[in-house]
């Protein structure tokens, strides 16, 4: 066992799982066929908002074409403390589990919200999102990997397992980058956080369905981060 890696992971889990709120934004790079001439690497902008105990919102913009001028499609998945929702490419909002949602516990709905996020979130929904919820922190993949540490950078803890690399700020004990190092099935992912705010001041209105639907309809999802979007071409 790498004792440094073990301690860093334990400290990280303790810190993230006791947050009252959390906010991040960043870019997910997903490389299809990374070792082939047909390689395509779309870059998805994302943002997460969380307010304890269970208000959650994940938003991204999907570029479904390789064309440089292709439109970005906004997608939002959220839980407002009672119900979970997701938007589709047609900008329509549907309830997680549909009419049967009344038969599910809030805990199971939140778990399904994270599952909906997963294909678009790099490894955030595997490593970070579960830590924010007390009932899900045991499902975080961060404690399910066997990590080894690289201490060559005085500012960053670099941990690697057989499948992943983590870059963690030593000073702030925050995850700065997650990479899937396995390149399995012709797919490679890198998640780079451009901003992380722990215990952020987040208004509960950010999780209200009416407000989010208005943002989707007005194409305002992540509109305040247009400069970051421009870097994705």
CA dist 42 → 65, 89, 126 (Å): 9, 17, 20
Contact 78, 212 (CB under 8 A): yes
pLDDT in tens, 50-89: 999 999 999 998 765 555 455 678 899 999 999 999 998 8
User: Is 149 in contact with 159 (CB distance < 8 Å)?
Assistant: yes
pLDDT tens profile 3-55: 999 999 999 999 999 999 999 999 888 776 555 565 566 678 899 999 999 99
**Per-chain mean pLDDT for the chain:** 86
Question: What pLDDT, on a 0 to 100 scale, did the predictor assign at position 65?
Answer: 54
Interval 152-206: pLDDT, tens: 999 999 999 998 999 999 999 999 999 986 655 556 788 999 999 999 899 999 9
CA 109 to chain centre: 17
The pLDDT value given to residue 44 = 83
| Domains of the chain with bracketed CATH | 3-230 (2.50.20.10)
131 alpha carbon, distance to own chain's centre: 12
CB atoms within 10 A of CB 32: 15
Three-state SS letters, the chain: CCHHHHHHHHHHHHHHCCCCEEEEEEEEEEEECCCCCCCECCEEEEEEEEECCCEEEEEEEEECCCCCCCCEEEEEEEECCCCEEEECCCCCEEECCHHHHHHCCHHHHHHHHHHHHHHHCCCHHHHCHHHHCCCCHHHCHHHCCCCEEECCCCCEEEEECCCEEEEEECCCCCEEEEEECCCHHHEEEEEEEEEEEECCCCCHHHHCHHHHHHHHHCCCCCHHHHHHHHCCC
pLDDT of residue 150: 97
Give Cα separations from 140 to 12, 109, 192 (angstroms).
12, 17, 18
Quote the tokens at residue 41.
Answer: 């690497």
Q: What is the pLDDT of residue 32?
A: 61
**What confidence tens digit (pLDDT) does each residue in 84-116 have?**
999 988 889 999 999 888 899 999 999 999 999
Q: Which residues pair with 178 in a beta bridge?
A: 166, 191
């Amino acid at each position: 066992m790498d004792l440094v890696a073990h301690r860093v992971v334990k400290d990280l889990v303790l810190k993230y799982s006791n947050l009252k709120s959390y906010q991040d934004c960043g870019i997910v790079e997903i490389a299809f066929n990374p070792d082939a001439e047909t390689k395509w690497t779309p870059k998805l902008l994302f943002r997460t908002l969380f307010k304890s105990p269970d208000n959650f919102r994940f938003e991204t913009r999907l570029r479904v074409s390789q064309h440089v001028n292709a439109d970005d499609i906004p997608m939002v998945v959220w839980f407002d403390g009672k119900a979970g929702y997701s938007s589709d490419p047609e900008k329509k909002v549907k309830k997680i589990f549909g009419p049967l949602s009344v038969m599910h516990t809030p805990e199971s709905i939140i778990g399904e919200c994270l599952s909906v996020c997963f294909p678009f979130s790099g490894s955030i929904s595997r490593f970070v999102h579960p830590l924010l919820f007390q009932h899900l922190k045991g499902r975080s993949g961060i404690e399910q990997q066997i990590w080894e540490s690289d201490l060559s950078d005085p500012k960053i803890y670099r941990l690697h397992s057989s499948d992943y690399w983590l870059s963690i700020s030593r000073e702030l004990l925050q995850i700065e980058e997650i990479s899937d190092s396995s390149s399995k099935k012709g797919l490679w992912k890198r998640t780079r956080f451009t901003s992380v705010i722990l215990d952020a001041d987040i208004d509960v209105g950010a999780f209200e369905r009416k407000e989010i639907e208005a943002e989707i309809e007005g194409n305002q999802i992540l509109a305040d981060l247009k400069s970051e979007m421009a870097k994705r071409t």
